C-alpha cells in the first residue's frame, strides 16, 4: 500500500467494506443510558441494537457525544509513521464536529516530528455516506498507486461536488446537538411540516426547504437527484436512514427510475450521527458537478 488510510465511524461504511479494503476506523464515542459506548461494527449495531436505540431516542432518551481528541488521533497515526508509512485521514465535516480540527492539530504536530513522511487530513465537509463515499474514493486512489498527497488533493478537489440532502422528522434533535438554532428547530413540530436540509459549501447542515408529509419529502429528495446527479461518471449513491427502512428503500426505487449509478449503498445511520438527525430521518448522498453544494 502506498499509504495507511484512516477514517472515522461517521463515514457509516459497512464493517465488511472496512476490513476488505484495509481501512482503519477511529471511533466516535457516545453516552447512552448511562454507558459510554463506541460502535465499531455496523452490522452488529444494525442487527441487534439499532431498533431499540432509535426507539429509545424517540421516547425521549438523550445521547451525549464527544469529539475525537488530538491525542486519540496521534495514537492511531503515529504507529503507522513509526513503521515508515504515510498517512491519509478522511474526516467528518468541520461544520458539524470539531473533530476535524483536532485531526489537523495532530497532523501539524506529527509533521514536525516525522518530516520525511506524508501526513494528510481531509475535511470532507460531509458526514455519514457523504464522508463514506469520499473514503471509498480514497481506497480506489490508494489501490491505483497514488501517494497520500496525490490522493488527498484529488479528494479535496471533489469535496464541493458531494451533494447531501436530508429529510428530517424533527429538527429538535439537531438543536440539542448544537447543529441548528431553536427557531429553526421549531419548524419540524408545526402542522406536520418536514424540514429538508442540505450540506452547504462550508459543511454545515442548513434548512433548504420544507414539505408537508413524508411522501412529498421523499419526492423532493428524488427531484434533487434528477436535477444534480452526475451522469458522466457514474459512482456510488448513498442512502442512510435511522428507523425508517421502508422509506429508504422506497427512495432507492424512485431513484432507479431516474438514473442507475454504478452502485446504490443503503445503510442504517451509525449511533453518533444518527443521534444528531434523530428518528424518521432519510438522507441522500451523491456526487454531482463541482459547486453542487451551492444549489
pTM for the predicted model, two decimal places: 0.93
C-alpha cell at 281: 430521518
Q: Specify the pLDDT at position 207.
A: 86
> CA 103 to CA 101: how far, in whole Å?
5
What distance in Å separates the CA atoms of residue 8 and residue 89, rounded to the nearest whole number? 8
Q: What's the rounded Cα separation, in Å, for the pair 69 and 276?
A: 19
User: According to CATH, what is the number of the domain 161-294?
Assistant: 3.30.1180.10
HSE of 146, CA atoms in CB hemisphere, 13 A: 17
Level-2 CATH architecture, domain 4-29+66-159: 3-Layer(aba) Sandwich (3.40)
Give CA separation, 101 vs 21, 97, 159, 290, in Å.
Answer: 26, 8, 17, 24
Locate cell 516530528: which residue? 113
Residue 196 and residue 165: Cα distance in Å, rounded? Answer: 7
Distance CA 212, CA 201 (A): 27
Phi, psi dihedral angles at 38 (to 5 degrees)? -135, 155
Answer yes or no: are the C-beta atoms of 99 and 68 closer than 8 Å: yes
pLDDT in tens, 109-126: 999 999 999 999 999 999
> What pLDDT does 170 receive?
77
Residues of the chain with pLDDT under 70: 1, 171-192
Helix segments in 9-68, DSSP class H: 15-20, 42-44, 50-58
- How far is 191 from 169, CA to CA, in rounded Å? 12
C-alpha cell at 240: 442512510
Q: How many angstroms separate the CA atoms of 185 and 205, rounded?
A: 12
Q: Are 39 and 156 in contact (CB under 8 A)?
A: no
Query: What does the alpha-carbon distance between residue 134 and residue 121 come to, in Å, rounded to a whole number?
Result: 12
Give one DSSP letter per residue of 62-103, joined into a string: -EEEEPPPHHHHHHHHHHHHHTT--EEEEE--TTT-THHHHH
Q: Where are the domains of the chain?
A: 4-29+66-159, 161-294
Amino acid at each position: 500500500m502506498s499509504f495507511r488510510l484512516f477514517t472515522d465511524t461517521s463515514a457509516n461504511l459497512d464493517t465488511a467494506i472496512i476490513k476488505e479494503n484495509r481501512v482503519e476506523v477511529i471511533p466516535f464515542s457516545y453516552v447512552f443510558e448511562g454507558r459510554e459506548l463506541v460502535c465499531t461494527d455496523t452490522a452488529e449495531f444494525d442487527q441487534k441494537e439499532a431498533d431499540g436505540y432509535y426507539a429509545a431516542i424517540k421516547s425521549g432518551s438523550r445521547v451525549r457525544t464527544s469529539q475525537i481528541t488530538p491525542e486519540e488521533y496521534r495514537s492511531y497515526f503515529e504507529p503507522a509513521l513509526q513503521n515508515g508509512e504515510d498517512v491519509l485521514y478522511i474526516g467528518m465535516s468541520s461544520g458539524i464536529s470539531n473533530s476535524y480540527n483536532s485531526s489537523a492539530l495532530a497532523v501539524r504536530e506529527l509533521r514536525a516530528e516525522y518530516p520525511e513522511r506524508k501526513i494528510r487530513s481531509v475535511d470532507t465537509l460531509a458526514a455519514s455516506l457523504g464522508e463514506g463515499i469520499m473514503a471509498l474514493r480514497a481506497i480506489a486512489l490508494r489501490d491505483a498507486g497514488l501517494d497520500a498527497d496525490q490522493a488527498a488533493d484529488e479528494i479535496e478537489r471533489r469535496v464541493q461536488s458531494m451533494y447531501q440532502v436530508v429529510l428530517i422528522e424533527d429538527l429538535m434533535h439537531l438543536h440539542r446537538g448544537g447543529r441548528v438554532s431553536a427557531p429553526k428547530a421549531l419548524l419540524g413540530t408545526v402542522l406536520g411540516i418536514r424540514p429538508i436540509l442540505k450540506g452547504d459549501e462550508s459543511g454545515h447542515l442548513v434548512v433548504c426547504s420544507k414539505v408537508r408529509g413524508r411522501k412529498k419529502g421523499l419526492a423532493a429528495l428524488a427531484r434533487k437527484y434528477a436535477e444534480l446527479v452526475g451522469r458522466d461518471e457514474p459512482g456510488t449513491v448513498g442512502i442512510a436512514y435511522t428507523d425508517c427502512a421502508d422509506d429508504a428503500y422506497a427512495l432507492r426505487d424512485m431513484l432507479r427510475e431516474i438514473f442507475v449509478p454504478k452502485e446504490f449503498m443503503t445503510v442504517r445511520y451509525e449511533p453518533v450521527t444518527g443521534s444528531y438527525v434523530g428518528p424518521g430521518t432519510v438522507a441522500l448522498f451523491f456526487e454531482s458537478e463541482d459547486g453542487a453544494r451551492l444549489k
